[in-house]
Amino acid sequence: MGSQKSSARSGGAPGRSAAFSLPNLLTYGRIAAAPLVGATFFIGGNWGPWIAFVIFVAASITDYLDGYLARIWNQQSALGRMLDPIADKLLVAVAILVLVADGMLAGWSIWAAIIVLMREILVSGLREFLAELQVSVPVTWLAKWKTALQLVAIAALLIAPALQGAKSGFIIDMGLTFFWVAAIVTLYTGYDYFRAGLKHLLEE
């Protein structure tokens, strides 16, 4: 998801003001949203899915806004560069856990969840290693589309239990389809990142 904005937030003046800039405040909000999405699992009735959906969609919007505002306002910072991908991964990971616990991701679909989570961990480790070598790995447009599909899929699956009849079935089918497509694209983009960093890994 938000790793595409990491490189855009690497500059800017350090200091206290950067920590409380609006882009970074949005990132903090996305981090706080992750456990809130998890807490909705314990809310009975249709309220839980609706609250989870609203929180997740709002947090997903900040995933775009924080990087965009940081660029146009020249409020890029090392803190934002570090926290932004962490916030994205926390939000997606917690939402996936909620969907698994709620039974929306079950059977073979759990493998799609495993693929997504493993890729995020592996790419994070690779990026951390390459950052020590001062090597940046650019984010491709395919990776950005993967993130968009993933967010739409998770949002659809979060709200599906609160809907009724054919509408619920359609939303579930769409969510699972998008999630599987995102998982397949995840495999490719993960390999693409690994291939880009392979020569640096071999040098070490």
Q: Where are the domains of the chain?
A: 2-203
Q: Encoding tokens for residue 169? A: 């079935």
Greater model confidence, 55 or 20: 55
Q: What is the CA radius of gyration of the chain?
A: 17
Please, what is the average pLDDT of the chain?
82
**CA-to-CA dists, residue 149 to 61, 104, 105, 128, 184, angstroms:** 14, 17, 16, 25, 11
- In this predicted model, what pLDDT tens digit does every residue of 99-130 receive, in sequence order? 999 999 999 999 999 999 998 888 877 777 77
Mean pLDDT of 28-46: 92
Greater model confidence, 4 or 190: 190
Helix H segments across the chain? 16-19, 22-39, 47-72, 78-101, 109-132, 141-159, 165-203
Quick check: pTM over 0.85?
no
Q: Which letter does DSSP use for residue 133 in this model?
A: T
Question: Is residue 10 scored above 50 in pLDDT?
Answer: no
Provide CATH code, domain 2-203.
1.20.120.1760
Q: Encoding tokens for residue 125? A: 């480790």
pLDDT tier for residue 45 given thresholds of 50, 70 and 90? confident
Question: Is residue 200 scored above 70 in pLDDT?
Answer: no
pLDDT tier for residue 136 given thresholds of 50, 70 and 90? low
How many other CB atoms are there within 10 angstroms of residue 23's CB atom?
A: 27
Greater model confidence, 141 or 97: 97
**CA-to-CA dists, residue 51 to 28, 42, 133, 169, angstroms:** 19, 11, 42, 20
Task: Return the percentage of the chain with pLDDT > 70, whole number.
Answer: 82
**Would you state the pLDDT for residue 4?**
44
**CA-to-CA dists, residue 166 to 45, 115, 154, angstroms:** 19, 29, 19
